[in-house]
Amino acid sequence: MKIGYMGLPGSYTEAAARQLIKSQGLSDAELVPLISAAAVRRSLDTSAVSKGVIAVADQAGRPVSETAQVFPKDSYTPEAELTLPVHYCLFRRSTVADFDIREVASHLFALKQTEEFIALHYPYWADVDTPDTAQAAQMLSDGELSITTAVICSKAAGEANGLVCIASDIEDQPNHAVTFCLIKG
């Protein structure tokens, strides 16, 4: 059985997917990284995957806008739900000094969840929206983003891409968490 998830390896959605398949006794499932909610939807609609894992809301119950646009209420059947603490980190390339950074890249949801921290500590940085937090780390590592870019992602994604952590636990709400759903097509 194939289960698609929003994001790349190292994303919080991948971590949630691993926990959800374990809790559901689906240890033989193959996880398929699909970057976006739209890609999960397409893969479910075409039966490329049997199930999907999507981020649905933050700890305050605010919907993840990308998911809400692609999966309106009652358009999917949740099989299991998991709320996972999410702690964002700020990473840069090892060859760049902190004072040379001019922009910060990440998924729009992560940018929103860290905007107070960024405004307080780095008010001159421009935001760059990327499809996924882990993809932002990969893009910076691969040279697809300017070397003067920092990224917001999980500790696992930043370290997996050989980046240097500038700051950790930068989310504006100290108890930040996201609810993920395992859904069937």
Whole-number average pLDDT of the chain: 93
Q: Is the fold of 2-86+176-184 the same as that of 89-168?
A: yes
Torsion of CA 33, 39, 42, 43, to 10 degrees: 0
Q: Which CATH number fits domain 89-168: 3.30.43.10, 3.30.70.100, 3.40.228.10, 3.40.190.10?
A: 3.40.190.10
Q: What is the pLDDT of residues 98-140, one digit of tens each?
A: 999 999 999 998 999 999 999 999 999 999 999 889 999 999 9
The pTM of this model reads: 0.83
The CATH architecture of the domain made up of 2-86+176-184 is 3-Layer(aba) Sandwich (3.40)
What residue spans define the domains of the chain? 2-86+176-184, 89-168
Q: What percentage of the chain exceeds 90 in pLDDT?
A: 77
User: What's the CA gap between 45 and 157, in Å, rounded?
Assistant: 29
How distant, in Å, are the alpha carbons of 101, 157, 163, 170 from that of 122? Answer: 9, 22, 19, 12
User: What's the CA gap between 140 and 58, in Å, rounded?
Assistant: 26
